[in-house]
Structure 1
Amino acid sequence: MSNIVEIRNLSKVYERGRQKVEVLHHIDLDIAQGDFLALMGPSGSGKTTLLNLIGGLDSPSQGTLVVDGERIDRLGEGALAKWRSEHVGFVFQFYNLLPMLSAQKNVELPLLLTRLGAAERRRRAAIALQLVGLTDRVSHKPSELSGGQQQRVAIARAIVSDPDLLVCDEPTGDLDRQSAQDVLGLLQMLNREHGKTIIMVTHDPKAAEYATHTLHLDKGTLVESGAAA
């Protein structure tokens, strides 16, 4: 199986005034196409930084970063934004839904960057909402939905453009246990039945059990890798 992510000698340094803080130290990592990877580690270990680099939301200070066949560490800001819109779906802890828009319109948002017509955007959004089990909530606004339903809308938005890769930053961190299990089961279904590669940052060992592999970071260094039960 081919790799969707290939990382070599990756480092990330942030400058705070005159101080330089190295958040990631010389990371080497391969992630196979179709994997479901959980990234774990204490706060400040570099998990979200690594996730943002893989998703093209940030650029490394050093090293090579190949994602879905593209050297994204070489891309300029405009090219990187275009690449993200075509290849990556994002799921965040706090949903990031627009409160004045219906579930349908929120899911359509990534498609506004494409040349698709309004009817095709509606059709694809409806399919994505059906996939996450929210066909009966398409006209509801976020305030009319539970936290778990809002996260399902966010997942539908992430998959509506049919990306190869989903990056999820604490996707269950704001949910009760039952809603969290529902969302994790949905991610697992997208991985197993639809072939989506998923990289998920989580503090929750029970959430990591849904992944096929777990990767541990500590102080910016890869310290352990293994298979989930």
Structure 2
Amino acid sequence: MTTLVSIRGVAKRYTRGKQTVDVLQALDLDIASGDFLALMGPSGSGKTTLLNLIGGLDKPSAGEIVVDGKRIDQLSSGQLAKWRARHVGFVFQFYNLLPVLSAEANVELPLLLTSLSKAQRKKNVAAALAVVGLADRATHKPSELSGGQQQRVAIARALVADPTLLVCDEPTGDLDRKTADEILTLLQQLNRNHGKTIVMVTHDAKAAEYATHRLDMDKGALVTSGDSH
């Protein structure tokens, strides 16, 4: 297996007034290409901070982060924004869809930053909606979709630019069990059938069972790891 994400000695600290809060401490982690990793841990354990560093939403205070051969911790904010647009698809607990836009227009948003033609964008959007099983809902607005369907639109938007990595922060946190299982099955299929590398933060042990690996975090450090299968 090729290593897609390599993290070495990564620390993250925040200063609040005179107080320094260490969120991550000298963390080492390798994520293989094609892996589906679940990060678990109590609130404040640092899992979302780690996810944000992997996705290039934040920069470490120390250490190095290499994704697909690129040292992302050395990029400027502008370079990082461009890198994210090309390489990372984000899925959050709340779907962050624009209510005035149709499903297809929401999915198309990341492509507006690319040099793709309108026809190619339309083709990619249709393909992404088909992958998440929503081809027949393309013209519906978020208010006309269920929570599970809105999250599928959000996943299609994360996929549309064919990112190197899918980063999911509590993707089923707002859904009932049945709908959550459907979304997790979809993520599992994206991982198994489409070879997508996925890193998911979750509080839910049942959600973690869909991943190929699980890592537990506590107080900014990795404590255990295990295979779900």
TM-score interval, smaller chain: over 0.9
TM-score normalised per structure 2: 0.99
Q: Which residue of 1 aligns with 2:66?
A: 66
- In 2, the alpha carbon distance for the partners of 1:181 and 1:105 equals 26
Q: Which residue of 2 aligns with 1:32?
A: 32
- In 2, the alpha carbon distance for the partners of 1:69 and 1:125 equals 28
- In 1, the alpha carbon distance for the partners of 2:92 and 2:122 equals 23
- In 2, the alpha carbon distance for the partners of 1:191 and 1:103 equals 23
| One-letter amino acid matched to 1:72 | I
CA-to-aligned-CA distance 1:102-148 (integer Å, 9 cap, x gap): 00000000000001122211111011000000011000000110000
Alignment of 1:94-173 (within 5 A): 94-173=94-173
- In 2, the alpha carbon distance for the partners of 1:98 and 1:4 equals 32
Matched residue of 2:171: which SS? coil
CA-to-aligned-CA distance 1:77-102 (integer Å, 9 cap, x gap): 00000100111100000011000000
Alignment of 1:203-214 (within 5 A): 203-214=203-214
Report how far residue 174 of structure 1 moved: 0.2
Q: Which residue of 1 aligns with 2:15?
A: 15
Gaps of at least 5 residues in structure 2 are none
Matched residue of 1:13: which SS? strand
| One-letter amino acid matched to 1:146 | S
Root mean square deviation of aligned Cα: 0.6
Matched residue of 2:94: which SS? coil
Same amino acid, percent of matched pairs: 72
Asked if the contact 1:68/1:87 (under 8 Å) is kept, the reply is no
Q: Which residue of 1 aligns with 2:89?
A: 89
| One-letter amino acid matched to 1:202 | T
| One-letter amino acid matched to 1:87 | H
CA-to-aligned-CA distance 1:171-219 (integer Å, 9 cap, x gap): 0000011110110000000000100000000000100000000000000
**Across the two proteins, how many residue pairs are aligned to each other?**
229
Gaps of at least 5 residues in structure 1 are none
- In 1, the alpha carbon distance for the partners of 2:195 and 2:177 equals 26
Asked if the contact 1:39/1:216 (under 8 Å) is kept, the reply is yes
Report how far residue 59 of structure 1 moved: 0.1
- In 2, the alpha carbon distance for the partners of 1:210 and 1:45 equals 21
Q: Where in structure 1 do 4 or more consecutive aligned residues deviate above 6 Å?
A: none
Matched residue of 1:111: which SS? helix
CA-to-aligned-CA distance 1:38-72 (integer Å, 9 cap, x gap): 00000000000000000000000000100111100
- In 1, the alpha carbon distance for the partners of 2:152 and 2:183 equals 7
Report how far residue 19 of structure 1 moved: 1.1
- In 2, the alpha carbon distance for the partners of 1:66 and 1:119 equals 34
CA-to-aligned-CA distance 1:21-52 (integer Å, 9 cap, x gap): 01000000000000000000000000000000
Asked if the contact 1:166/1:198 (under 8 Å) is kept, the reply is yes
Report how far residue 158 of structure 1 moved: 0.3
Asked if the contact 1:11/1:27 (under 8 Å) is kept, the reply is yes
Alignment of 1:211-222 (within 5 A): 211-222=211-222
| One-letter amino acid matched to 2:155 | I
